[in-house]
Structure 1
């Protein structure tokens, strides 16, 4: 295995010879063997161990073992203790998910602070097969069947080509000592059930199971690359606008493809949606129809689908009051500045000039609401704000982000759009107030 590992590093992961990295080490056979293999190549690494405090004294013994191993290998070691149960309870996570989040968050923080190039984990071929089976039994798309990537951002898995049997044989041959986690033998968790009950049967049916599986994942990854290329092409044609509030897609581009549902799934699967039939129905729905996940929403607007975050804050009843002496105000939609001027320069949707004497302070900045009316500048008569926004053909999401500047409950300005005729500059104006929105 040593020779095969060296060849694998030279051929596929030469970056590890040039970089500095952390090895995520539990004390179990896989990570301990990885540390020994890296040491044999004189690679530049340190160890990082998480004590999750879930196995009483056994957790402390693991920590002590890793400390002794670091001394034996003459490498630096970092230890972090976690109250995993408290984190799981507070964040409503399973113990396994809580440990995973704590582990990877700490590894990434450590790598960033101390300038490590990579984080190495000891996932191997059997882990890859088990992950495939877990995803398969739970239901997944193509990406869930392509296996664990060898490299994902700065996380690298050098042992993926090697089986558990190879790792065990190497440990025995080299007289390597490791810590055995008793929970690995438990059938309580799905991964262990598959490991101890399902995979042995599959290997009995096909002794070359891991080799066959690796060939299959290679083919699936090739297919996934083709799918990704097609998806990028459709995405490029479909997106007509993207900003900090939303991404807008042309419905027609989804209707052109043979399997709209598949493209919609691949395009929006990372945003928490599950109602895929309803999302397909959005293509022919009336304007204003929307589908929500826990974090996002898809809204039909005319011939477009608009993807937006769900608002984190409820701003419906939020008002910001602006005093006469205020010059610069930070708001949820940007900056407002107020300056006194002697003459009028060029105006725009974001710059207006008002007769200051017609205003009553404090001014109020708030979201528009049903029943608001204003007198559009340059026109005679009043108009409902809702009707004005409809005439401007704003989408539901755009309407939800429209703010008003008001004086004594009278609309002064639909911010960034239209000001009110009642407050305009006239020949009798003595005090000019310039308001600029950025």
Structure 2
């Protein structure tokens, strides 16, 4: 299990190789279906706990060797920092938490920027230019990362062509971004390609997403919901108890490990299997919007809210959703 000590080593290694804000956020406590509960404990804490329980554990036999750069950081750099401050690992972990919070905020701003700039065929360069530098860089990072490692040189080149108003950046032999006629467009061997919007924290409101997907989430008082129940009756799967849509809810597209509980079926399916069951074309799946808390999908485009989210007699506010597909890229 990854510990706070692994966190410190990872951040030091990234700093040495060159990293940015995202890298300084360190190893996330949760990513998709992966959960790391031991990040709040140092390696020494974990070993002491196992010893107290008499619990045996396995270590990689190469951990003691200095063949690898990470091991040299563990054996030399970390002890040197602990000589200066015995709580060095905890200090680095605190920095990671602060950077993660800042990174989350910046990613939300970047997602809002891309949403505002999204037009049929690409992104309006004039809107991108008006963004603050760090927000623009975060937005460009979100466009590059699905294609390749978002190295600084690619972000810098893409920022230059956006601010300059023309030019192109070759990300891979098959993918490049071009600025032409005021639009930033992704081109592949198959022609212009649309990438999903980056994940963003969920708030009620209107979202215009890549692929021509429009979603409007609105909060309605339960009394008003009951008065207009005839309007909602045929689309009850598009209504949820606001109190049941809690946690770290993100508006995004599919990720590995996602699962969904179809309303009224009392079962859980991986999103991949559910898409297969519905016959959703492979080409459409990467762009379909959804709401998720971790790997649990709470709302899915075309299918509604998951099992257990529906309003009931204890509901105070109802979350409704209206969708529209324009057919625009």
TM-score between both structures, scaled by the size of structure 1: 0.39
Deviation at 1:235, TM superposition (A): 0.9
Partner of 2:113: 234
- Aligned counterparts of 1:310 and 1:264: Cα–Cα separation in 2: 24
Give the 3 Å change call, closer, same or farther, for CA 179–154 of structure 1 in structure 2: closer
C-alpha contact (below 8 Å) 1:125/1:164 kept by paired residues: yes
Give the 3 Å change call, closer, same or farther, for CA 262–174 of structure 1 in structure 2: same
Deviation at 1:195, TM superposition (A): 0.6
Partner of 1:301: 180
Deviation at 1:156, TM superposition (A): 0.9
- Aligned counterparts of 1:286 and 1:223: Cα–Cα separation in 2: 29
RMSD, matched Cα: 2.4
Partner of 1:251: 125
Give the 3 Å change call, closer, same or farther, for CA 310–155 of structure 1 in structure 2: farther
The answer to whether the aligner puts 1:222 opposite 2:104 as a matched pair is no
Structure 1 unaligned regions, length at least 5: 1-121, 242-246, 313-438
1:148 partner SS:
coil
Give the 3 Å change call, closer, same or farther, for CA 263–169 of structure 1 in structure 2: closer
Over residues 74-114 of structure 1, what are the superposed CA-to-partner deviations in whole Å (9 max), with x where a residue is unaligned? Answer: xxxxxxxxxxxxxxxxxxxxxxxxxxxxxxxxxxxxxxxxx
The 5-angstrom pairing of residues 70-109 of structure 1 reads none
- Aligned counterparts of 1:148 and 1:224: Cα–Cα separation in 2: 13
C-alpha contact (below 8 Å) 1:249/1:304 kept by paired residues: yes
Partner of 1:393: none
2:75 partner SS:
helix
- Aligned counterparts of 2:6 and 2:21: Cα–Cα separation in 1: 18
The answer to whether the aligner puts 1:194 opposite 2:68 as a matched pair is no
2:86 partner SS:
coil
Aligned length: 185
Deviation at 1:217, TM superposition (A): 1.6
The answer to whether the aligner puts 1:268 opposite 2:143 as a matched pair is yes
1:275 partner SS:
helix
Partner of residue 168 from structure 2, selected from 270, 279, 290 = 290
C-alpha contact (below 8 Å) 2:165/2:182 kept by paired residues: no
- Aligned counterparts of 1:266 and 1:276: Cα–Cα separation in 2: 6
Give the 3 Å change call, closer, same or farther, for CA 212–310 of structure 1 in structure 2: farther
C-alpha contact (below 8 Å) 1:297/1:310 kept by paired residues: no
Partner of residue 8 from structure 2, selected from 129, 137, 142 = 129
Deviation at 1:310, TM superposition (A): 4.5
Give the 3 Å change call, closer, same or farther, for CA 233–284 of structure 1 in structure 2: closer
- Aligned counterparts of 2:129 and 2:107: Cα–Cα separation in 1: 18
Give the 3 Å change call, closer, same or farther, for CA 257–132 of structure 1 in structure 2: same
Partner of residue 143 from structure 1, selected from 22, 26, 29 = 22
Over residues 371-426 of structure 1, what are the superposed CA-to-partner deviations in whole Å (9 max), with x where a residue is unaligned? Answer: xxxxxxxxxxxxxxxxxxxxxxxxxxxxxxxxxxxxxxxxxxxxxxxxxxxxxxxx
- Aligned counterparts of 1:286 and 1:142: Cα–Cα separation in 2: 27
- Aligned counterparts of 1:256 and 1:183: Cα–Cα separation in 2: 51
- Aligned counterparts of 1:277 and 1:177: Cα–Cα separation in 2: 49
C-alpha contact (below 8 Å) 1:125/1:161 kept by paired residues: yes
2:40 partner SS:
coil
The 5-angstrom pairing of residues 414-433 of structure 1 reads none
> Which structure would you say has the larger Rg?
1
The answer to whether the aligner puts 1:159 opposite 2:38 as a matched pair is yes
Deviation at 1:281, TM superposition (A): 3.0
Deviation at 1:302, TM superposition (A): 0.6
TM-score between both structures, scaled by the size of structure 2: 0.51
Give the 3 Å change call, closer, same or farther, for CA 309–140 of structure 1 in structure 2: farther
